[in-house]
Chain A
């Protein structure tokens, strides 16, 4: 059994658990949509204002509620399940990478589901939208990796639900900046590459941290 096959099976299992629990997409996504709805209700029908703040608000909601997706309860292995995986020869890196892959896919779905809601409520200018094809996966991958790391670090701790977001949010700031600024830069005719590179760097650092830190995180758990 190759590590790659194990990783795919773990991701598939996590997605199946999510499909049964509906924790991320059936519960969190409507909350995200409601959060997007609340702002127009609060600021009124000021269309230019909503159009201006819409993209930024979308990404704030994605990051805040995306944390709930990555830290979902169904993504927590109990000690007997971790022991089982270890005895099946699953390396800690493979276990966490499988989880991060599942989280990234869920986050991508979460992002895509919120896009039409944001468009309907904020009517943002359509410039720079093609860059979302790059930005959406970069944010999903970065947040998935960071959330998986934080979840593993906080595993078994009483304050897991609080500690997880506290650990992830500061590290996710570059993702927020990149996600908002890349399409904005493209819309103004500037090259969005520096912002994309910033997000890619966060993703790579998070992946490296998972690679190097997974064995230690498993010991902590």
Chain B
């Protein structure tokens, strides 16, 4: 691993409330550029909320959040429009970010979906939709990639593709945060693992 010192994201004393419930309570976290950080914790410990904070989708009620560069968040459910084809979905993302349509085709080819590019998303299997969602990373080229349980329900090939994407972001000098309940998987994929408990980083850190 080649960790750089500059932080890709830095959270200081972050407090977040969701529907009037305190979810994150004074959380401090630094994600270094080039780092793949694993995030584990029990259900309701605030993992997904933390990813949304890192994506600047949820503002903290207190504390500071600093994130460098574009961010991509891949969650449980793919952010695809079900009645658009896979190509149209990725072209939409490309156009929204000022990129050429050709980037979409290249991204689909990279995730092995070139042959299914003209298939509507709602006529694709769960794994194909996940891969198409993953292809967004090749379109937007984020500096910070946030993955929320994306391995769930994937076959071996698709899971390997996730690993490939994570590795690609790291090689570009970006950072990844991977949320998973599978401790072995997290330990294999990441440079460092932190555990969330009661809205904070738990003192016990897995090596």
Measuring CB to CB, which residues of chain A are less than 8 angstroms from any residue of chain B? 1, 5-6, 9, 13, 16-17, 20-21, 74, 78, 80-81, 83-90
Contacts and interface: CB of A to CB of B under 8 A. Distances in A.
A5 B92 CA distance: 11
Contacts of A21: 83
A6 B96 CA distance: 6
A78 B83 CA distance: 13
A80 B130 CA distance: 13
B120 to A, nearest CB: 8
Contacts of B78: 80
B95 A5 contact: yes
Interface stretch (B24-32, B33-41, B68-76): B68-76
Nearest to B59: A219
B79 A80 contact: yes
Interface residues of B, number: 24
Contact of A83 (B55, B81, B97, B140): B55
B77 A9 contact: no
Interface string B126-142: 00000000001000100
Given A1-B98, A87-B71, A13 B79 contact: no
B62 to A, nearest CB: 17
Contact of B77 (A13, A80, A86, A89): A80
B88 interface: yes
Given A1-B98, A87-B72, A13 B84 contact: yes
A9 B95 contact: yes
A86 B97 CA distance: 11
B79 A83 contact: yes
Given A20-B84, A85-B96, A88-B140, 14 more contacts: A13-B81, A16-B83, A17-B83, A17-B84, A20-B83, A74-B83, A80-B77, A80-B78, A83-B52, A83-B75, A84-B79, A84-B136, A86-B57, A88-B96
B65 interface: no
Nearest to B71: A87
A21 B84 CA distance: 10
A80 B75 contact: yes
B88 A83 contact: no
A220 to B, nearest CB: 11
29 contacts: A1-B95, A1-B97, A5-B98, A6-B96, A9-B95, A13-B84, A13-B88, A13-B92, A16-B84, A17-B81, A74-B83, A78-B79, A80-B75, A80-B77, A81-B79, A81-B81, A83-B52, A83-B55, A83-B57, A83-B75, A84-B79, A87-B55, A87-B71, A87-B72, A88-B93, A88-B96, A88-B97, A89-B96, A90-B96
